[in-house]
Amino acid sequence: MTAQNSAGKKKSPAGQLRIVAGNWRSRLLQIADLPGLRPTSSRIRETLFNWLMPGLHGARCLDLCAGTGALGIEALSRGAASVVFVEQSRLAADVLESNLASLEATGFDVYVGDARRFLTASKAEEFDVVFLDPPFAADLHVELCRLLDEYHWLVPNARIYIELDKNQPELTLPVAWSVVKNKTAGKVRYMLATTEA
């Protein structure tokens, strides 16, 4: 029998996470056994994708510091055209690629390496949606936002999801960005920013 939480939703087994909605709804993904790997909770993912709909269909997405890839995979499940996953850990990237293969996913690329190097050394393409959830202790949020802006990775009116520790100081975002959504859940603060047209 599947365990359920108080809201009646299925809980994911330990070492796995569940896709919330879309073509792969309720499918389970494996989580790499890595210290500090912190998948975005299903509750936060549900809120985030409510914010992003209906404009997610056909979107080009970038999942920076992808970790489990839960955000990018959820986007593909809900109709995004493509996702580029960037993950520094080879183990996490291998598990991510295994999960994508098990879903028979298409429209993705996995880049193994540092997110800052990716943003400065790769040929820029423009994305509609960016998921930015680096390890909280790495303190990379402001720098990655700056690089996204300076190296022209974003279309006009792009949407950038940012997840951080709720005790982290307010972020200094690029001048043309504005925060349109901002919430807290437990120890996590998460927000959605957009760029000017």
What are the domain boundaries of the chain?
A: 16-195
Taking the C-alpha atoms of 108, 51, 192 and 127 in order, what is their torsion angle to the nearest 10 degrees?
Answer: 30
pLDDT of residue 163: 95
Give the rounded percent of residues in the chain with a pLDDT score beyond 90: 77
Pick the more confident residue, 38 or 187: 187
More confident of the two residues 188 and 3: 188
What span, in angstroms and rounded, lies between the C-alpha atoms of 195 and 197?
A: 6
pLDDT higher than threshold 50 for residue 1: no
In the predicted structure, residue 16 carries a pLDDT above the cut 90: no
Q: pLDDT (tens digit, 9 = 90+) per residue, 19-57?
A: 999 999 999 999 998 877 888 899 999 999 999 998 999
pTM: 0.90
pLDDT tens digits for 101-117?
A: 999 999 999 999 999 99
Q: In degrees rounded to 5, what are phi and psi of residue 133?
A: -140, 65
In the predicted model, is pLDDT for residue 130 greater than 90?
Answer: yes
- Comparing CA positions, the residue from 65, 53, 107 lying closest to residue 83 is 107
Distance linking the first and last C-alpha atoms of the chain: 50
Three-class secondary structure of residue 88 per DSSP:
coil
Burial of 66 (0-12, 13-18, 19+ CB in 10 A): buried
Mean pLDDT of the chain: 90
- Of residues 15 and 142, more confidence is placed in 142
The class that CATH gives domain 16-195 is alpha beta
pLDDT score at 39: 85
Longest pairwise C-alpha distance within the chain = 51
Across the range 154-183, mean pLDDT stands at 94
**Taking the alpha carbons of 171, 125, 20, 57 in that order, is the dihedral positive or negative?**
positive
Which neighbouring-strand residues pair with 188? 165, 185
Q: In angstroms, rounded to a whole number, what is the distance separating the alpha carbons of residues 179 and 162?
A: 10
